[in-house]
Amino acid sequence: MLRAAIDERLERADRAGINLRLEIEDETLSVPLRRRMLRTVVENLIENAIRYAGEGATCTVSLRRDGDGITLEVSDNGTGVPEEDAPRLFERFFRSDRARTTRGSGLGLAIVKHVVETAGGNVEARSAKGRGLDVKVHLPIA
């Protein structure tokens, strides 16, 4: 499913000048989300990177076992957001300064947070302007 989500966005990423990569530690890992919900999370995170990382950036989607859970991470080395905005990225309708100049509703990351927390997990974002955005989704093992 992760490969399919990336493959479906390769053309759009190419037009935006973004490279997409996938790193899966263990092909047998099972994510404790319904397929449709996992797809919603991954698609929103990849779309966010394509839209805001900036030309020449690389977006990496990774999946790995992390202690007693699973970590899905979508990170880019693009323009990032101001560090003080990172915690607010999951608020409904919040848009950082750069995002305000583009189309979008400001709901994508809020949806990600809702889906992840409903599944018993948590999500966090770290960024610094000019160093990209790193979004980590932590989910318990089913």
The answer to whether 48 touches 18, Cβ cutoff 8 Å, is: no
At a CB cut-off of 8 Å and minimum separation 6, what does 7 contact?
A: none
**Choice between 11 and 98, residue whose per-residue pLDDT is larger:** 11
Per residue in 49-107, pLDDT (tens digit) is 998 899 999 999 999 998 889 999 999 999 888 777 777 787 765 555 544 344 555 67
Among 4-8, 84-88, 131-135, the range scoring the smallest mean pLDDT is: 84-88
Nearest-angstrom CA–CA distance, 22 and 24: 7
Q: Which CATH number fits domain 2-140: 3.30.565.10, 3.40.50.1010, 3.40.309.10, 3.40.50.300?
A: 3.30.565.10
Domain boundaries, the chain: 2-140
Nearest-angstrom CA–CA distance, 128 and 36: 31
Nearest-angstrom CA–CA distance, 34 and 26: 19
Nearest-angstrom CA–CA distance, 79 and 110: 21
